[in-house]
Amino acid sequence: MQTPCILAVTRRELLIGTALSVAIPASAAPSAAIAQTGVKSMNSKVSFDVNGVSQQLELDNRTTLLDALREHLHLTGTKKGCDHGQCGACTVLVDGRRINSCLTLAVMHEGSQVTTIEGLGTPDNLHAMQAAFVKHDGYQCGYCTPGQICSAVAMLGEIKAGIPSHVSADLTATPDVTAEEVRERMSGNICRCGAYSNIHDAITEVAGRQA
C-alpha cells in the first residue's frame, strides 16, 4: 500500500501532466507527437467514389476514412462519437459492407465505393430506412442516427444473404428478422438516448416490406 506522501506526489504529477496536455493547442498536438516519436507525416493520393461522385484526395496516410469524409469532403452526416470503434456513430457502407469509418485509413480504400447517409436518400426522396426512422421516431438527439440507418440497411442485406449471426440457431438457413437477431446484429450501434425500441420498430417494418 502507498504512503500518503507518495500518493500526494503521484497526484501532483498527474495534475501537471493533465495541465500540460490541456495547454497544448489541438493544432500543435500532432507536431508535438511527431517530435516525440520522430515520425514524419507522409501523404498519399487516393481515389474513391463517395455517394456516386468520384473523389481524388491527397491525405496524410494516418487520416481515417471518417476524417476524410468529414474534414476533407465536408460530408458531416457521418458522426464521430468515440473515434475508437465502440459506438457505431461513424458507420458507413464500403462496397456494400458496413464498417466503422473511424477504424480504417482512407488510403486503404483506393477504388472503393463509399456510401454515407447523404448518399442513401435525399430529403425529397428518403431511403425506405430513413422514412421508417422518421415514421417510428427512431431517434431523439439524432447523433447516432446516420450510423444506425447505414448499419440497419447493411444488416438487412446480410440477413437476406443468409449470413448467420452469433444468435442464429441454424447456420445453414436464412435467418428470420427476429428481435433477437436485430438486437445482436445492431449491437455495435449505441444510442445514448435509448431510442432502441423505436429503432427496432423502424427496422422490422422495412424488413417486413422486403420479405
Binding stretches for ligand FES (CB under 6 A): 80-83, 85-90, 100, 102, 139-145, 191-193, 195
Give 87 or 159: the residue with its C-beta nearer to ligand FES.
87
**Contact yes or no for 89/81 (Cβ under 8 A):** yes
DSSP helix/strand/coil, 200: helix
Give 73 or 175: the residue with its C-beta nearer to ligand FES.
73
- For residue 55, the cross-strand partners are 48
Query: What is the edge-to-edge ordering of all strands in the sheet holding 113-115?
Result: 53-60, 43-50, 113-115, 91-94, 97-100
With cell 484526395, the residue in question is: 57
Nearest distance in Å: CB 101, ligand FES = 7
Give 169 or 193: the residue with its C-beta nearer to ligand FES.
193
Nearest distance in Å: CB 98, ligand FES = 11
**What is the C-alpha R_g of the chain?**
21
- Phi then psi for 44, rounded to 5 degrees? -140, 155
First-to-last C-alpha distance (Å) of the chain: 63
Give 73 or 168: the residue with its C-beta nearer to ligand FES.
73
Interaxial angle between packed helices 145-160 and 128-135, expressed in degrees from 0 to 180 and rounded to the nearest 10: 120
Nearest distance in Å: CB 70, ligand FES = 11
| Residue 92, H or E segment | strand 91-94
Cα–Cα distance, 37 to 185 (Å, whole number): 39
Give 59 or 80: the residue with its C-beta nearer to ligand FES.
80
Nearest distance in Å: CB 12, ligand FES = 34
Give 120 or 186: the residue with its C-beta nearer to ligand FES.
186
